[in-house]
Amino acid sequence: MSTRTIPVSCNLDCSGGCPLLARVEDGRITAIANNPVGGPTMYGCEKGRQMARAIYAPDRIKGPLLRTGPRGSGEFQETSWPQALDHVAERLSGIKARYGNEAILRLGGTGSVRGALHNTKSLPLRFLNMFGGHTETVGSYSMGAASFAVPYVLGDSPAGVDIDTLQFSNLIVLWGANIADTRSGCATEARIREARSRGVEVIVIDPRRSRSVKSLGTQWIPVLPGMDTALMLAVLHVLLEEALVDRTFLQRYSVGFDELEQYVLGDADGEAKTPQWAESVCGTPAGTIVQFARQYGRAHPTALIPGLSIQRTIGGEEASRIAIALQVATGNLGVLGGTSGSPIWNRLPGPRMGRIEIPANPVQDTVPQYCWPDVILNGKGGGYPADIKAVYNVGGNWLIQGSDIAKNMRAFAQVEFSVCHDSMLTPTARHCDVILPTTTFLERDDIVFADGGNYVLFSNQAVSPMPGAKNDYDIFCELAERLGFLPDFSEGKSAEEWLEGFVADSEVPDDKAFKSTGIHLGADQLRVGLSDFVSDPHAYPLSTPSGRVEISSAAYAETGFPAIPEWRAFPTTERHPLRLITPHPKYQVHSQYNNIPWFREQEDQVLWMHPDDAANRGIENGAQVTVSSPEGRMRIGARVTEDIMPGVVCLLEGVWPSLDQDGTDTAGAANVLTSTEPTLPSYNSRTHSVLVEVARMMA
């Protein structure tokens, strides 16, 4: 029997590549463990360690499929690779000839998004742009509102910190961040635990008592979803009243605080943003706000770590802006142990390394990602730049991960042609015309980037591709050959040659060591973004119009929203008096692995509900309930628990739906309830601003 231990990396979309070791016996993965090479703080989680269950899952697609029944029926016939590829090439050429390249919409991208080569975003972009272009979506499900708003405040300087700098924090505030589940880098949880063991206070601000509160033993401050801006205004009110604002810091590094101050004090609109005011808006007790603000104002440095959740709301743009203002007002931006406050708080460039290039898209017009089904359904008549006729989906399951599943199904039904690369027959794949089965990332070599950390990983191929599956790269090469642009697409290189070229074009000194250890660590692990600006704002100005942090932004005001971050109301209605949040599952990345029993069984899919809300509706723990929103309906079991605030209900995202005849979901697929109406002005996701009603099911 041959046994090998192979350095690999997780390539899932949870903000970090984690260094792992795969044990391979007789060509089969038998175990996956942490790779100790990254030191004790860098470790993976069960999603990576149990990944073999996904690789060997019986429902891996075993060969190309052509649809035979109605879309979504699941009726397909198996076909050969040459036939499937001929068919795709022919249909794409036909669409291009009849309607132009803008009629092709690219969907997906996050499946394997950290790879230098086998990247489910870069490869289809390279392919489609070389084919003559396509309609591209802009913004993102993850952090669209923040990506839009933060540059108005900070310009384009990387505003992240290396996670190891948390060793120097005196207070850590997880503002809508649930690190125990969502990871946000492979060392984040370890660094927070380490801080706890030093006696540092960690505070979680969240509508629910999340696993982070429980497993990290932190303080929990409840807040109604989407109301973080209001809560932050009240925190500022206390800081101002108690002279805990760092005026020197503000003056040196920012513009526009006086305008925000007037708004906080109520000079601007007659309403002081006091803790009492905030209590009525946010559901957070006024006394708790005062206590928290004092603690925050006095502890220095404070790492304010916003989750991306706070900007996946109506007004998420403002939450992103005011969180930065708080860190400036308390002198915590750009200092060791602090953060910028941006929800994109951990992104700094990693080690220099080559990667597959994306040529410019000849089709200039773009459409908002969050509204892709509206683009398909309404086209030019609805004010969008193109009439979409074809969908090219690689590494995405947006039929169910996009908001409003019923609308997404209508959109898929309307296109003339759709193709999907995936390893599993996802609900999105079931609605496509052609499915091309792909490898998963342990079936190929790749270089894997972390989102923020100063390291890069070499993930060695652990096993041969599963029967019938091909790498996305090879699929695109074969299509490019049929369409006449293979020499441009592949540049005559094999996958191995691409990877060798990337390493040659990198700062990695020894490619053998890189492959055999699986990691290259950059020299400095304690980088603080914006520290040069803080050391000398004249020598290192920001790229904002003023060169400083723009707490008030004239450029932002041109979007039609106020120059300063103001709170936005999102009132409940009589029909839908509860607020639904749909956080990310611990044991899945989104919808990935939901079809695999072990992962699905780690956590019950139930609706969390506060005892008061349950009692008002005659609902007992474990009862079956219906959840309804303007978009759809679901039947599900209720968990009655004090772990969630009154007025809020919670359902994990990522479940594959099971729809009744009338469209009611019985599996717990969150997006039957959500809406594609975006937050403005960024046109991005608001999946944490959803109103629903819950009712007991009659026996």
- The footprint of Mo ion (CB under 5 A) covers 142
100 and 330 in contact (C-beta within 8 Å)? no
Q: Which CB atom, from 371 or from 670, has the smaller least distance to ligand MGD?
A: 670
Burial (0-12, 13-18, 19+ Cβ within 10 Å), 33: middle
Query: Helix, strand, coil: what percent of the chain each, to 5?
Result: 35, 20, 45
- The CB-of-267 to ligand MGD minimum distance in angstroms stands at 27
Nearer Cβ to Mo ion (142/313): 142
3-state class of 521 per DSSP? strand
Q: Which residues contact 289 (CB under 8 A, 6 or more apart)?
A: 231, 234, 235, 238, 275, 278, 279
Q: How far is the CB of 13 from Mo ion (least distance, A)?
A: 6
Instruction: Please choose which of ligand MGD, Mo ion, none residue 61 contacts, taking the beta carbon within 5 to 8 angstroms, the exact cut-off set by kind.
Output: none
How do strand 65-67 and strand 76-78 relate by DSSP bridges? antiparallel
Residue 112 touches which member of ligand MGD, Mo ion, none, C-beta under 5-8 Å by kind: ligand MGD
Closest separation in Å from C-beta 448 to ligand MGD: 12
Report what 579 binds from ligand MGD, Mo ion, none; CB cut-off 5-8 Å by kind. none
Minimum distance, C-beta of residue 390 to ligand MGD, in the bound complex (Å):
17
C-alpha distance from residue 378 to each of 71, 144, 668 (Å): 20, 22, 28
Q: Which is nearer to ligand MGD, 84 or 335 (CB)?
A: 84
Pairing of strands 446-449, 434-437: unpaired
Dump strand ranges (E) for 329-487.
366-368, 390-394, 417-422, 434-437, 446-449, 455-459
Closer of 263 and 683 to Mo ion (Cβ) = 683
Interface residue list for ligand MGD (CB under 6 A): 13-15, 108, 110-112, 118, 120, 141-142, 175-178, 181-183, 205-208, 210, 223, 225-226, 228, 307-310, 312-313, 394-398, 401, 421-424, 426, 438, 440-441, 472, 581-586, 588-592, 653, 670-671, 674, 687-688
Residue 438 interacts, among ligand MGD, Mo ion, none and using kind-specific CB cut-offs from 5 to 8 Å, with: ligand MGD
Judged by beta carbon, residue 142 or residue 184, the one nearer Mo ion is 142
CB of 393 to ligand MGD, least distance (A): 8
Q: Encode 422-450: b = buried (16+ Cβ within 10 Å), e = exposed.
A: bbbbbbbbbbbbbbbbbbbbbbbbbbbbb
CA nearest to 234, candidates 182, 195, 273, 269: 273
- Tokens 């969630």 belong to 644
Q: How many CA atoms lie within 13 A of 223 on its CB side?
A: 28
- Picked from ligand MGD, Mo ion, none, the partner binding residue 117 (CB below 5 to 8 A depending on kind) is none
Distance, in Å, from the CA atom of 414 to the CA atom of 573, rounded to the nearest integer, reads 33
Considering CB distances under 5 to 8 angstroms, the limit depending on partner class, which of ligand MGD, Mo ion, none binds residue 584? ligand MGD
Q: How far is residue 566's CA from residue 260's CA, in Å, rounded to a whole number?
A: 9
The CA-based dihedral angle spanning residues 299, 304, 310, 312, taken in that order and rounded to the nearest 10 degrees: 170
Least CB distance from residue 535 to ligand MGD, whole Å? 31
Tell me the closest approach of the beta carbon of residue 685 to Mo ion, in angstroms: 9
Which residue's CB is nearer to Mo ion, number 142 or number 675?
142
Q: Minimal distance in Å, beta carbon 103 to ligand MGD?
A: 22
What's the min distance (Å) between Cβ of 652 and ligand MGD?
A: 8
The rounded distance, in Å, linking the Cα atoms of 458 and 38 is 12
Comparison of 142 and 369: residue with beta carbon closer to Mo ion: 142
Query: Of these partners, Mo ion, ligand MGD, none, which one is at the site of residue 668 (CB under 5 to 8 Å by kind)?
Result: none
Q: Which is nearer to ligand MGD, 124 or 537 (CB)?
A: 124
Shortest Cβ 142–Mo ion spacing (Å):
3
Give whichever of 297 and 343 is closer to Mo ion, judged by the CB atom. Answer: 343
The least CB distance from residue 377 to ligand MGD, in Å, is 19
Binder of residue 589, out of ligand MGD, Mo ion, none (CB less than 5 to 8 A by kind): ligand MGD
Asked if residues 260 and 563 have their Cβ atoms less than 8 Å apart, the reply is no
Query: Which of 147, 254 has the CB closer to ligand MGD?
Result: 147
d(CA 104, CA 133) in angstroms, rounded, equals 8
CA distance 297 to 104: 52
Q: What gap in Å lies between CA 343 and CA 140, rounded to an integer?
A: 14
* C-beta closer to ligand MGD: residue 203 or 290: 203
Radius of gyration for the alpha carbons in the chain, expressed in angstroms and rounded:
25
In the complex, minimum distance from the CB of residue 182 to ligand MGD, in angstroms, rounded to a whole number: 4
**Are the C-beta atoms of 586 and 181 separated by less than 8 Å?**
yes
User: How many CB atoms sit inside 10 A of residue 615's CB?
Assistant: 12
d(CA 522, CA 530): 19
Specify the amino acid at residue 673: L
Q: From Mo ion, ligand MGD, none, which one binds at residue 209 (CB under 5 to 8 Å depending on kind)?
A: none
Residue 398: contacted member of Mo ion, ligand MGD, none (CB under 5 to 8 Å, by partner type): ligand MGD
Nearer Cβ to ligand MGD (110/361): 110
* Chosen from Mo ion, ligand MGD, none, partner binding at 633 (C-beta under 5 to 8 Å by type): none
